[in-house]
Structure 1
Amino acid sequence: MEATVRLAGRITDWNDDKGFGFVVPSGGGERAFVHVNAFQRGSRRPVPGDLISYLPGKDARGRLQASEIRHAGQRIEVSRQPSRLPRATIGIAALIAAAVAARIGWIPALLAGAYVALSAVSYLMYWFDKSAAGRGARRTPESNLHLADLLGGWPGALIAQQQFRHKTIKQSFQSVFWLTVVVNLVAAGWLVSSGLAAELAQSLGG
């Protein structure tokens, strides 16, 4: 039954940085919007000219889009395995750890509050970018996402990445993301151990 509704076509106008492009059906017809998240889990990154099969459908605004995309010759995945990395759990645990550390006096309350506030900002930025990707609207630059994460919003980013299934496949993004996490934790540890975090909190009345 599926074979009668699936279409075959080639990828065109692919923007790998933004993770979307279009597919032109073989034999002619209306092109459909393609997003990297619509590919079967485990698929390689698409490139212009790739032959794919897909199910055509309409988005909320009535525009043609492709779903359940597979590269030509790719086997059907029987079950979609969830990500092995519990991103949301790690993000929530990090925020709880910051709150507990502040409660027992290991870190200034201002620092814990900053993590919560920046995590909220980062979460909203990922949500906005995911929403824009689905609408084909202007995206949030990856550098802005990385900056928010570097400043301390990475726990919220982890929660958003898992909840929205966003930015988890692109390896280059994930490499930079985890680097921002490490740099942030090292910087926060140095600020606390040197006493600068406490001095700053005291000067700000935290």
Structure 2
Amino acid sequence: MSRSGELVQWNNKGGYGFVRDGAGNDFYVHISKLAAGQLRPRIGDKLNFEIVSGRNGRPAASNVAVDTPALQTARTIRDVKRMPRHMSRYAIGLRTTAATMMTLLILLAIAADQVPVWLGATYALMGAASALLYRFDKLYALNGGWRVSEINLHLVDLCFGIIGGLAAQEIYRHKTVKPPFVATTWGIAIVHVLGLTALAMGWLNFALP
């Protein structure tokens, strides 16, 4: 079945990206699936494509053709943060919920004198650092620039930056499709949720000064 959508992510070096249809669904697209004679697409291009079963049985785009080329103006974070029409601007996603839960657990643990205040400050500082990295990586992805490696994103998230990382993924709609990355992110989040829950409930002792 033929569909149309906008190319919202594109790695020109790797030759792959994601096209988003009118319902807000993202489909993986590879350069090998371009129709004969088609040039490399660019972010913002309106594409016509067919849906086939891709890797791991996930739907992917095939027989891709550029319908309307994008005007080549630099895209900004403001463009990314615009919500699709089918989504409410007040909708709260799972990543935001998880980040809020961890924040509340930290505050509860501090209030109960289970952890020192500096641990909460560490989460805040590293969370801000993680959010900035996601922001920069999204901007670089939009305009074909240098990218932040996925290993570095995961490392900062693991080192107490997971709250900011989850929030940034939600806000910028970045790194939310690729299965291995998503699975690793949620693995890190679960580790932190379990650890913070154990601290807040007093099941795990933290050596206070």
TM-score by length of 1: 0.62
1:115-134 pair list within 5 angstroms? 115-134=123-142
Alpha-carbon contact 1:168-1:174 (below 8 Å) kept: yes
2:15 is aligned to 14
Alpha-carbon contact 2:95-2:169 (below 8 Å) kept: yes
2:153 is aligned to 145
Percent identical residues: 25
Taking only aligned residues, the RMSD between alpha carbons, in angstroms, comes to 4.0
Q: Distance in 2 between matches of 1:179 and 1:14?
A: 28
Task: Give structure 1 regions of 4+ aligned residues with deviation exceeding 3 angstroms.
Answer: 19-31, 42-47, 79-85, 184-195
Of structures 1 and 2, the larger Rg is shown by 1
Cα offsets for 1:153-189 (capped at 9, x unmatched): 1111111111100111111111111111223345556
SS at match of 1:177: helix
2:174 is aligned to 166
Q: Distance in 2 between matches of 1:45 and 1:129?
A: 25
Give the one of 164, 181, 186 matched to 2:189: 181
Alpha-carbon contact 1:22-1:33 (below 8 Å) kept: no
1:63-74 pair list within 5 angstroms? none
Q: Distance in 2 between matches of 1:84 and 1:100?
A: 22
1:33 is aligned to 42
Q: Distance in 2 between matches of 1:20 and 1:152?
A: 33
Cα distance, 1:185–1:86 mapped onto 2, change above 3 Å: closer
Cα offsets for 1:62-107 (capped at 9, x unmatched): 9xxxxxxxxxxxxxxxx75689843223213322331232123132
Cα offsets for 1:37-61 (capped at 9, x unmatched): x999x994658xx312444212424
Q: Structure 1 unaligned runs (5+)?
A: 7-11, 63-78
Give the one of 195, 198, 203 matched to 2:207: 198
2:64 is aligned to 52
Residue 117 of structure 1 deviates from its aligned partner by 1.2
Q: Structure 2 unaligned runs (5+)?
A: 7-11, 18-27, 53-57, 76-84
Q: Distance in 2 between matches of 1:87 and 1:39?
A: 31
